Amino acid sequence: DIQMTQSPSTLSASVGDRVTITCRASQSISRWLAWYQQKSGKAPNLLIYDASSLESGVPSRFSGSGSGTEFTLTISSLQPDDFATYYCQQYHIYPPYTFGQGTKLEIK
């Protein structure tokens, strides 16, 4: 199975900050990676697919990059609504589809 590792596990930041979350795969997954945002008590919501394609309706301050084994999710200017937990997910070799352990973005 492909293991996905996110860093950091927790990130403290302020409104207006630029933040980056990293996701590493245990082997190459080409560009077959998605990012989700999950707010407390809610279902995950798709942000990015194919490593860098922005889902319709998602604000342009979110962007994704990377290929192979290393990927990043960047929020260019944090808004109050962005404080949540973020997960990466690979879909290169499945089953199983695998997720990172999550990155909790907190208000500093």
Partner 1 sequence: QVQLVESGGGVVQPGRSLRLSCAASGFTFSSYGMHWVRQAPGKGLEWVAVIAYDGSNKNYADSVKGRFTISRDNSKNTLYLQMNSLRAEDTAVYYCAKDAIAVRPGWFDPWGQGTLVTVSS
Per CB under 8 A, which of residues 76..105 are in contact with partner 1? Answer: 87, 89, 91, 94-102
Structure tokens at 57: 């309706």
40 touching partner 1, by CB under 8 A? no
Q: Say how many residues touch partner 1, by CB under 8 A.
A: 23
- Binding residue for partner 1 (CB under 8 A) from 5, 20, 22, 45? 45
The candidate with the shortest Cα–Cα distance to 71, out of 18, 10, 13, 4, is 4
Stretch that binds partner 1, among 11-19, 43-51, 60-68, 71-79 (CB under 8 A): 43-51
CA distances 40 to 33, 35, 68, 81, 105, Å, are: 23, 17, 31, 12, 12
